[in-house]
Structure 1
Amino acid sequence: MTTRSSCTSILIGKKASADGSVIIGRNEDSKASWPKQMVVRPARTETTTFVSKETGVTIPLPGDALSYTATPEWTDQYGLFEEDGINSAGVAMSATESAYANARVLGFDSFTDQGTNEEAMVTITLPYAHTAREGVQRLGDLIAQYGTGEANGILFADHDEAWYMEVVTGHRWAAQRIPDDSFAVVANQLSIQEVDFDSTDFMASADLRDFAAANHLWQAGQPFNLRHIFGTNDQSDRVYNYPRVWYGHRMLAPVASQGETPESSTMPFIVRAEQPLQVESAMDFLSSHYQGTPFDPAARLPHGVDGHRYRPIALAKTQESHVLQLRQDLPAEIANIHWLAMGVPAESQYVPFFAGTTTTPANYQAGALPASMDSAYWQYKLAGVLVDAHFNHFQAKLTGVQGAVHAQHVALIAKTDAQAAGKSAAELAALATTATAEAARLSDASWAKLTMDLLASSTDFSPLNFNTDPNL
């Protein structure tokens, strides 16, 4: 089985967010029925060796690994696919946003079957990064040394910066810092535009310019547009990728996005925020499916209107959605929040996991095939399937619960922040663990009630129903 995440991502700089947080987030899209788990990987002092089950690549790992949160697959048969997390140094990483490089560039530096792919990237990078830049550099060095079999985008953040890194050929990459007052949305394409090699806001393979010049992909003196040189611009982009970027701009920068269309191929990678963005802005974007447009596959549309014309952002194949929020001026144990929605975010709940937690609730560590109700993944998927059957009928109930639970989570975070003052590192870890468990409990209780309500309400929608006489 080849697993690639056909995802959607968002990055928000600290001056673009309402509270000074640096925020990155992504929908992990692969299979509609493929469980995920949420775990905490402990710190490690011994050296070890990573061996990829997907490609067989063997990579020695140093003995100074930091602890980190992660969302691995339910089985490691095909690899770990840890995908996203925040480490104890306050560095967040999400990998990957799958993309495509054009055939010409791959003719000069092809992908390799024995390299480091999405499956391995969080595992071999996040435990060793003390800043976002350091994470970019470490992964870039590993790509240059071992190669890769995929074009990918990788998100990094710390308390100061958000970075977007793109792997553009088998051994080459570039990365751009998101300006503090701006945001970016990405949808399965190479997105970075003009690279300024003299600016500290960019990083790249040491020979990227020379490689492009030697193979007549770029001429000195011309802008080095990474998207144009290495990426694609074809009909599949117009159906699959550009519409999601268009909708993100429409949601988050309605003035700047005027004139853009779902199939625009010249939309900017970086967009300046027009108003302060909340963490909920990232959640709303990742949960969206073209609401308010003729392209919403869940809407009641007029006859002849194709709601499935474009690939939506939240869709049935979303395994989990995460928003990694790095807040300012708080102890690290509670400042950093790994918001996680199991399954389809439009039909699930973002639950805050404080990155300083020492463990996760048991139902987040469970989840396998066949389905079992001891798993948070399957609990939320069940509610989503019940909603799917009568999507518009159940929307009010669904959004009511999502809003009420989120308000409880916001209050819990504020309470936890207040309790953190004056506590030692050990006490803060205990506080983060207790608060994380309470956040999951609040959501579990409300969604268990919602699921039973959906079940009871659904019984009268059977095709075997009939307008019967209640007295007979």
Structure 2
Amino acid sequence: MGGILMTITKQSLSACTSILVGKKASLDGSVYIGRNEDAKSAWPKHMCVHPRQEFTSEQVFTSKDNGFSMPLPKVAYKYTATPEWTDEFGLFEEDGINEFGVAMSATESAYANSEVLSCDPLVANGIGEEAMVTVVLPYIKTAREGVLRLGQIVSDYGASEANGILFADDQEAWYLEIGSGHHWVAQRIPDDAYAVVANQLAIEEIDFADTKNFLTSAGIQAFVEANQLNPSLDGTFNFRKIFGTQTLSDQIYSTPRVWYGQKYLTPSVEQDPMSLELPFIRKPDRKLGLDDLSYVLGSHYQNTPYDPLNSKDPLLKKKFRPISLAKTQESHILQLRSDLSQDIKGIHWLALGVTAQSVFVPFFAGANDVHPAYKVGKATYEPDSAYWIYKQAGILVDAHYQAFAKELSDLQTELTVGFKTAVRKVVAAVKAGEFDGDLADFLTTESIKLQDLGLKKYQALSASLITQATDMSPLNFKTDANL
């Protein structure tokens, strides 16, 4: 194990925001998990569907990032994923749904405090974000299994980062947090509640007797006690306060995002955006749908003085880090429905580029291929790349936000309504058996149609914005038509 200085400098954090919703808190009984993957402003993501694979011998995974290595089972289940355009620095598959209707999103980067890390440092060649989906999602049949598999890997091999990982199936959502080199906890999101997380260790009091709703690394209580790490006066085991940080950076960078998500979903409760006591779990004031999750993930403190796009106060508009920002590579909402068959219960909603400027496109997890544009795109702009098509439109809007924002918003609304209508039609057709051929082929065709529609509409938007922008040059001059 490396020393504390190496541990702190080793962790290369991405800056994401996550949301999890229980089945009784949603409009149609769906379980949802979603996250913005925030890292670099020009770093394309692809989308793929890995087919089920069966090998005659045990496989071995080895990370190109840090050398983490472990054996893998002989059978790998089919799953969707969003890897980066290059695997030079690791795979970073980030999010997906497998053939058993289990969803996973990894990771919500976090920080552990120096007291904890001095006792159990992060492991330089332990498991990190780039490997987690790859070594876990193809090998689990429930969300709980996902927690246990990843937790065991952390305990056995160590973790190279402090992270939060989201799991869901059609019955429950779980959030797992890694707080040191080998220790972790996980909490089941109550069915009637939600959680918003933003680059902090967020889970609070652990009930070790309630294994239905809490899971932890072996020996975590003894570890905390032996190293005198618990600051509680009454002995309460609050994971956030024992393992996490409570700094000014948290108050500027992280807690305001949680505050805004809770403000939107539970407006009946008034809170301070810089409070270090915002709860991990909240009950919403209404049942939540896809629009609520997409609003939160695409938000930038709208209707508050902190909105960097619309606030009139030059100081407040830059005070807090917003949820949606230029460094978002992709945003996903993974929806699991218990009222549908295995092949169609999972929908992978994916918004490439900046969430506030993109749109969530539905992809049925039972499909077996994606649109060709989702398979291409490198670090330099490419016109045939889905990532760059969505990114280009956002860049054009940025240049003349007040003039172009409405046109973008109108298109987002049009596409969202169209996508939801199409999903309803596909689900109805599957339920009625009104489709030709193989179900996976049907879902593939319909998913690619929707991906294609989004791409063509955004290409048309970019063409319109470029045309309009030709008359917005600083070199423009109103000349008398008679001259």
Please give the TM-score of this superposition, normalised by the length of structure 1: 0.97
Equivalent position to 1:114, from 94, 113, 125: 125
Which residue type is aligned with residue 382 of structure 1? Q
Task: Report how far residue 422 of structure 1 moved.
Answer: 5.4
Residue 336 in structure 1 maps to residue 346 in structure 2: yes
Query: 1:119 corresponds to which letter in structure 2?
Result: E
Q: Does 1:152 align with 2:173?
A: no
Please list the CA deviations of residues 398-441 of structure 1 after superposition, one character each: whole Å capped at 9, or x if unmatched. Answer: 11000001111011001101110254997221221011011112
* Alignment correspondent of 1:410: 420
1:11 aligns with 2:20: yes
**Structure 2 CA distance, aligned partners of 1:106 and 1:426?**
56
Counterpart selection for 2:325 from 309, 315, 323: 315
1:436-455 superposed matches below 5 A: 436-455=447-466
Quote the Cα distance in structure 2 between the aligned partners of 1:135 and 1:31.
28
Output the CA distance in 2 between the equivalents of 1:220 and 1:172: 22
- Report the Cα offset of residue 469 of structure 1: 2.1
- Cα distance, 1:339–1:229 mapped onto 2, change above 3 Å: same
Match of 1:209 in 2: 221
**What is the aligned partner in structure 2 of residue 52 from structure 1?**
63
Aligned-partner Cα distance in 2 for 1:226–1:5:
22
Q: Which amino acid aligns with 2:197?
A: V
Contact 1:298 1:392 in 2 (8 A): no
Deviation at 1:220, TM superposition (A): 11
- Report 1:389-408 matches (<5 A): 389-408=399-418
Alignment of 1:199-278 (within 5 A): 199=210, 200-218=212-230, 222-255=235-268, 257-258=269-270, 260-278=271-289
Contact in 2 for aligned 1:416/1:431 (Cα 8 Å): no
Show the 5 A alignment for 1:264-303: 264-302=275-313
The percentage of aligned residue pairs carrying the same residue is 51
After superposition, give the CA deviation of every residue in 1:314-352 in whole Å (9 maximum; x if it has no partner). 000000000000012112222210000000010011100
Amino acid across the alignment from 2:262: H
Distance in 1 of aligned mates of 2:295 and 2:408 = 14
- 8 Å contact kept, 1:111–1:170: yes
Q: Residue 208 of structure 2: which of 167, 175, 197 is its match?
A: 197
Aligned partner letter, 1:15:
K
AA at the equivalent of 1:202:
F
> Which amino acid is the alignment partner of residue 49 of structure 2?
V
Alignment deviations for residues 53-100 of structure 1 (CA, whole Å, 9 cap, x no partner): 111121111112111000000000000000000000000000000000
Cα offset for 1:44? 1.1
CA distance in 2, matches of 1:130, 1:145: 21
Look up the equivalent residue of 2:244 and give its one-letter code: G
Give the secondary-structure state (helix, strand or coil) at the position aligned to 1:9. Answer: strand
Match of 1:364 in 2: 374
User: Mean Cα displacement is larger for which, 40-49 or 344-353?
Assistant: 40-49
1:21 equivalent in alignment to 2:30: yes
Larger mean CA deviation between 274-283 and 8-17 belongs to 274-283
Q: Which runs of 5+ in 1 are unaligned?
A: none
Q: In structure 2, what is the Cα distance between the partners aligned to 1:300 and 1:270?
A: 29
Give how far 1:155 is off. Answer: 0.2
Partners of 1:274 and 1:405 in 2: CA distance: 27
Distance 2:458 2:11 in 1: 33
Mapped partners of 1:244, 1:426: distance in 2: 46
Alignment match, 2:316: 306
In the alignment, structure 2 segments of 5+ residues that lack a partner are: 1-9
Amino acid at match of 2:248: Q
What SS class does the counterpart of residue 431 from structure 2 fall into? coil
Aligned with residue 176 of structure 1, among 175, 178, 187: 187
Distance 1:207 1:241 in 2: 29
Range that drifts further, 227-236 or 431-440: 431-440
Give the conservation status (yes or no) of the 8 Å contact 1:102–1:232.
Answer: yes
Partner-residue secondary structure (3-state), 1:421: helix
1:35 maps to: 44
Asked if the contact 1:44–1:67 (Cα under 8 Å) also holds between the matched residues in 2, the reply is yes
Note the alpha carbon deviations across 1:243-302, whole angstroms, 9 max, x for none. Answer: 0010001100001x31x1110111110001221100111111000000111111111514
Instruction: Work out whether residues 326 and 354 of structure 2, in 8 Å CA contact, stay in contact via their aligned partners in 1.
Output: yes
Contact 1:113 1:149 in 2 (8 A): yes
Q: Is the 8 A contact 1:101 1:168 kept in 2?
A: yes
Residues 166-222 of structure 1, C-alpha deviations (whole Å, 9 max, x = no match):
000001100000000000000000000000011020000011111111111138972
In the alignment, is the contact (CA less than 8 A) between 2:19 and 2:33 conserved in 1? yes
May I ask how many residue pairs the two structures share in their alignment? 469
Q: Partners of 1:294 and 1:108 in 2: how far apart?
A: 42
Q: 1:3: Cα distance to partner?
A: 5.0
Tell me whether 1:353 sits opposite 2:388 in the alignment. no
Q: CA separation of 1:71/1:426 partners in 2, compared to 1, >3 Å: closer, same or farther?
A: farther
Is structure 2 residue 79 aligned with structure 1 residue 68? Answer: yes
2:108 is the counterpart of 1:97: yes
Cα separation, partners in 2 of 1:375 and 1:2, compared to 1, 3 Å: farther
- 1:133-148 aligned within 5 A: 133-148=144-159
